Amino acid sequence: MSDYKTAVADIKAGMKINYQGASGPMDFNQYHNVTGAWDVVRSNGDAAGDIETVRTIAAAQIQQAILSGAG
């Protein structure tokens, strides 16, 4: 399945679908959350609006922070 119309029909028919978001898979865990890696970025200040990735935080680290209540 690769289109909205088919997905809606499948959902209405009770079928399970596997949504692939624009940034990649969007799979829910047992807590009904979706976590993925986060990029910490900063602008370099140019007119083009270019950004630089400063750090990438792994999905496992984000999930652990959620579970521990860190904020």
pLDDT tens column, 10-39: 999 999 877 776 767 777 777 777 777 889
Q: Is the pLDDT assigned to residue 71 strictly greater than 90?
A: no
Could you tell me if 34 and 27 are in contact, meaning their C-beta atoms sit under 8 angstroms apart?
Answer: yes
- The pLDDT of residue 2: 67
Q: How many CA atoms lie within 13 A of 61 on its CB side?
A: 7
How far is Cα 54 from Cα 32, in angstroms, rounded to an integer?
29
- The pLDDT of residue 70: 61
pTM equals 0.48
